[in-house]
Amino acid sequence: MYFSKVAGTGSYVPERCLTNFDLERMVDTSDEWIRTRTGIIERHIAREDEATSDLTLKAAWKAMEAAGVGPLDLDLILVGTVTPTMPFPSTACFLQDALQAKNAAAMDISAACSGFIYGLSVADAMLRSGSFRTVLLTGAETLSKITDWTDRNTCILFGDGAGTVVLQKTTGEARILSTHLYADGSRWQELMMPGGGSRHPISVEIIHQNLHKIKMPNGNEVFKMAVRAMEEAAITALKVNGYDVSDVDLFIPHQANARIVHAVAQRLSLPIEKVYVNIDRYGNTSSASIPIALDEAVRNGSLKRGDLVLLGAFGGGLTWGSALIRW
Ligand code: UT7
């Protein structure tokens, strides 16, 4: 019987850093408001000529180096993103070309901020089936390109970046124990970019109406749903595997808002020292936030071999999910 394991991690964020003080000069906001309401201090912003596939490429090389694999070892490339390099072909195809990963199939996964957990679930199933050996999974976003920089309700939240894992088939103890995925499409209006698809194809009118930018009309509602959904998904992951909250060594949640993270930890009775938080430096990078945090935790020693790692995400769709990993 096969399972899947994380063999290597990597991440990359663009060089340009946008601080809360920079935002104070752009919209009616303050460093104090942003820090206390979200925990964010700064975020990284891609250059005009930098696309999502450019960020993924840098993160991918690091993850492959850590895993000790080369481009020709990859069977499958998955990219979780809502800011693809182009509507089509997939960002995964751009990455496959840039890596010269000639043996790899390639596709994108659209699950907004849950994109990495959704991708992890797909990769895990492919590897467990036995027909794939090595999968490269990236969560990558250039949200700055679809951010409405005049909307203070949303523009203070988002950042750009990419986080990658190389997953391999295994029969060992270090492996993905479970993934749980959920969606509620009836709440699609909570978080969306309405323009640019087949409902509202891109046109001068659509641009004038600003429909090609992120909309989150009820941030506070999304906040409450995120807390509830992430708590429930985490409890399910632990229960299914016969673990208790006290068994968790590290919880890596999607970095949407430090207050959401703290509320989930509190409801789970999980000590805050066991929760990985880096939203202060990156903002909400959507599908990239968990793999960036995972890579940091591996490289700074927060995550050690044998640890029980819980992942949790929530985002547009609405989508949410959890994963439990024996590292
Ligand atoms: O990535 C996955 C999904 N995304 C999320 O999970 C995000 C979830 N939502 C949130 O993180 C929070 O709801 C926000 C950070 C977006 C907003 O925080 P909040 O505590 O829910 O604030 P609010 O929307 O209830 O607004 C409170 C006040 C309002 O003023 P009034 O009506 O009380 O006078 C807003 O107009 O804060 C005002 N406000 C701001 N003030 C200064 C909203 N944005 C800003 C701002 N600067 N940037």
Q: How many CB atoms lie within 10 A of CB 185?
A: 8
Residue 82 near residue 141 (C-beta atoms within 8 A): yes
93 noted as active-site residue? no
Ligand 1 atom nearest residue 226's Cα: 6
Token pair in block for residue 100: 């010269």
Computed over every residue of the chain, the mean pLDDT equals 97
- Residue 219 beta carbon below 6 angstroms from any ligand 1 atom: yes
- Residue 155 beta carbon below 6 angstroms from any ligand 1 atom: no
Query: In this structure, which residue's CA is closest to atom 42 in ligand 1?
Result: 29
**Helix residue spans in the chain (DSSP H):** 20-24, 31-38, 52-67, 91-99, 115-128, 204-208, 219-240, 258-268, 279-282, 289-299
Indicate the pTM of the whole model.
Answer: 0.97
- Residue 253 beta carbon below 6 angstroms from any ligand 1 atom: no
Instruction: Name the amino acid, one letter, at 241.
Output: N
Q: What is the mean pLDDT of residues 304-310?
A: 97
Per-residue pLDDT, 1: 87
Ligand 1 atom nearest residue 222's Cα: 8
Question: 3-class SS at 322?
Answer: strand
Q: How many helices (H) and strands (E) does the chain have?
A: 10, 11
Instruction: Name the amino acid, one letter, at 279.
Output: I
Residue in the block written with tokens 């430096």: 281
Residue 111 near residue 317 (C-beta atoms within 8 A): yes
pLDDT per residue as tens digits for the range 261-291: 999 999 999 999 999 999 999 999 999 999 9
Going by pLDDT thresholds of 50, 70 and 90, the confidence category of residue 98 is very high
Gap between the Cα atoms of 90 and 75, Å rounded: 16
Q: What is the mean pLDDT of residues 113-118?
A: 98
- Residue 260 beta carbon below 6 angstroms from any ligand 1 atom: yes
Ligand 1, from 25, 114, 184, 223: best to mutate by most atoms within 8 Å of Cβ? 223
Edge-to-edge, what's the strand order for the sheet holding 105-109?
Answer: 3-12, 160-170, 134-142, 76-80, 105-109
